[in-house]
Copies of this chain bind each other. A is one copy, B any other.
């Protein structure tokens, strides 16, 4: 009995965080998956995640998971849903608070056990553990919504990027096709882009966070 030393009057569920990590390789949108080393679902792929510690918030937990798998500390991270189906874990009642993270794929370092982490294109996702396929679909839907209110695309691109890369990213997220000329015109018109001096054809651009902060104050909407 020594082992079960946390006792409550009423049953409590376990609480975990899961982190859907999105990256962009210049062409396709990708997610980072971990091959599970333990039961249940040993050997199948899943999102990085784990039990919430008592002294950390869910966001801190998700950031911890993100760091352990990518070495990144300061990425964009957003809670998008808590999954609470009583049967979602075969062992016991586990609810998970799910986040998605947007990372610059080239900054990602292999985690402690890099061998078991791998990037997958969204059109080539393997069978996933637990209800993680549902979590992924949910994350994609929320990401598409989010893009209307925040220029989150910039979180997925390197510091400097071409207009074509930016367009391909938006096309990958929204699953649409834009006219190259109109996309460029629209993006430049918004005013969040800053052309990198001295680079010629193809031009490179940087995201201007100052302008973004100003625009957030006044309120704005990105149309697509």
Does the CB pair A15–B149 fall under 8 Å? Answer: no
Residues of B within 8 A of A221 (CB): 148
Does the CB pair B4–A52 fall under 8 Å? Answer: no
A221 to B221, CA, bound (A): 13
Number of this chain's copies in the assembly equals 2
Does the CB pair B9–A3 fall under 8 Å? Answer: yes
A13 to B58, CA, bound (A): 11
**A84 interface neighbour in B4, B11, B57, Cβ under 8 Å:** B57
A7 at the interface (CB under 8 A from B): yes
Residues of B within 8 A of A51 (CB): 10
A177 at the interface (CB under 8 A from B): no
Residues of chain A at the chain B interface (Cβ within 8 Å): 1, 3-15, 51-52, 54-59, 79, 81-82, 84-86, 93, 95, 97, 145, 148-149, 221
Interchain residue pairs with CB less than 8 A apart (30): A3-B9, A4-B9, A5-B7, A6-B9, A6-B10, A6-B11, A6-B12, A8-B12, A8-B14, A10-B51, A11-B54, A12-B12, A12-B13, A12-B14, A12-B15, A13-B52, A13-B54, A15-B15, A52-B84, A52-B95, A54-B86, A56-B86, A57-B85, A57-B86, A58-B82, A58-B84, A59-B84, A79-B82, A82-B82, A148-B221
